[in-house]
Amino acid sequence: MSEQKPQRLLLQGNEAIVEGALTAGCRFFAGYPITPASEIAEQLSVKLPAYDGTFIQMEDEIASIGAVIGASLSGVKAMTATSGPGFALMQENLGFACVTETPCVIVNVMRGGPSTGLPTNPAQGDVQMARWGTHGDHPIVVLSVSTVMDSFTITVKAFNIAEKYRVPVILLSDEVVAHTRECVELPDKADIQVVDRIKPSVPPDWYKPYEGDARGVAPMAAFGDGYRHHVTGLIHDVMGFPTQQPKEIEDFHRRMTKKISRGFPDIQMTRGYFLDDAETFVIAYGAVARSALRAVQDARNAGLKVGLLQLITLFPFPRRIVSPLLKQCRAVLIPEMNLGQMSREIQRVNQGECTVVKHNRIDGKFITPREIYDRLIKL
């Protein structure tokens, strides 16, 4: 038998997200068309039925994430995709997914805002909303893609994290990545790790739907499997029933936080370039990381000791990776297509270790390699 070769395709970022979702086992999508994310829905409307999956165009984004939560509770890997205005509408139901520990993936292909903003222009203005958009203390996982290949591999990772830790995962793309077309080699599906949620191993009468294991993650029964599963947006006990007992309330919040913090080595992802001897470095994410890598390569060719740390996981913020670099280097440049949303996180952990310099654009235009290179020269 001949060895199977990787599948070589010319894809847009949005199309690669679709391929990643299908590979990860997504079999349900509910969404509403919105620029610049609409290609995800368009592609899945055609492809999901071929995988024995379900596609539903909902009446709005509120209903979309509601349907996704319901599908996931029924045992199906589910996702939705939107942009900033639709993501804003999803926040209440996102909080419901957090408190009910319902695994799902929400793709936000960012564009300029607020409100209708700049529908066809790139931006990175939804970073802090992704972390804090829904109310209350809650752990959340936010990932970011910068290339078409990222759009495939990180989508698979998003589903794996959602299923492994029973959390909603937010995947941030942007208009540039979404509509950039690149040739990629998709690996053989047999070589891709796909994680499924843990199901109960006890009889139905013994099942406690919100009693965590050693990692803090509770096994998850699907509706219709014969296990009683009470679901409420209220803070609840291990059986899922609302509680006002202080100890049960605190235990619930502690477990929700613990399951993410214990997963930091698995969840927090970055890529480093030329960091070993760097005296100055760049921290970037999303499409801007593409410009930053080219700028750093050019600066290296010019004899400057610079490096790049690309953030894939934005939240939980990878402090354990960033902090040593802040101690090692004398300056860090943070280019963003916003007024400095990720730079706030870096300044929070910097504590005077090195000089933090921002480079921001909010005019709907992309940050070019030349802009970053010029700032590096000045540093």
CATH number at residue 110: 3.40.50.970
d(CA 22, CA 105): 12
CB 280 within 8 A of CB 375: no
pLDDT on residue 4: 60
Q: How far, in Å, are 67, 69, 74, 224, 226 from residue 78 at the CA level?
A: 9, 8, 10, 17, 21
CB 208 within 8 A of CB 202: no
pLDDT on residue 2: 44
pLDDT on residue 229: 86
Give the number of domains in the chain.
2
Last residue of a domain, one of 122, 157, 191: 191
CB 355 within 8 A of CB 347: no
Q: How far, in Å, are 121, 283, 312 from residue 163 at the CA level?
A: 33, 29, 19
Structure tokens at 78: 């589910």
Residue 177 lies in a domain: yes
Listed residue (231, 189, 186, 224) closest to 209, CA to CA: 231
d(CA 61, CA 93): 10
| Torsion angle of C-alpha atoms 193, 128, 88, 105, degrees rounded to 10 | 10
Which SS3 state, helix, strand or coil, does residue 155 take? helix
d(CA 343, CA 359): 10
pLDDT on residue 3: 54
Q: Are residues 121 and 33 in the same domain?
A: yes
Q: Could you say which residues of the chain have pLDDT below 70? A: 1-5
Phi/psi of residue 30, nearest 5 degrees? -125, 130
Residue 301 lies in a domain: yes
Structure tokens at 101: 């520990």
Q: Are residues 166 and 275 in the same domain?
A: no
101: left (phi over 0), alpha (psi -120 to 50) or beta: left
Listed residue (91, 121, 123, 122) closest to 106, CA to CA: 91
Residue 263 lies in a domain: no
Q: Are residues 80 and 185 in the same domain?
A: yes
Phi/psi of residue 193, nearest 5 degrees? -75, 125
Last residue of a domain, one of 191, 206, 235: 191
Q: How far is CA 59 from the centre of its chain?
A: 25
Q: Are residues 282 and 185 in the same domain?
A: no
Q: Are residues 275 and 187 in the same domain?
A: no
Last residue of a domain, one of 135, 161, 191: 191
Residue 206 lies in a domain: no
Residue 203 lies in a domain: no
pLDDT on residue 24: 98
pLDDT on residue 1: 40
d(CA 162, CA 226): 23
CB 233 within 8 A of CB 96: yes
Give the pTM.
Answer: 0.96
Q: Are residues 26 and 172 in the same domain?
A: yes
CB 268 within 8 A of CB 318: yes
Q: Are residues 46 and 161 in the same domain?
A: yes
Q: Are residues 148 and 281 in the same domain?
A: no
Q: What is the DSSP letter of 250?
A: H
Write out the residue range of the structural domain in which residue 316 sits: 270-378
Q: Are residues 157 and 276 in the same domain?
A: no
Q: Are residues 281 and 172 in the same domain?
A: no
d(CA 190, CA 41): 26
User: What is the CATH number for 367?
Assistant: 3.40.50.920
CB 69 within 8 A of CB 102: yes
Q: Are residues 37 and 169 in the same domain?
A: yes
Residue 184 lies in a domain: yes
Residue 20 lies in a domain: yes
Residue 205 lies in a domain: no
d(CA 368, CA 290): 9
> Which positions ≥6 away from 161 have C-beta within 8 Å?
141, 143, 167, 169, 195, 263, 266, 267
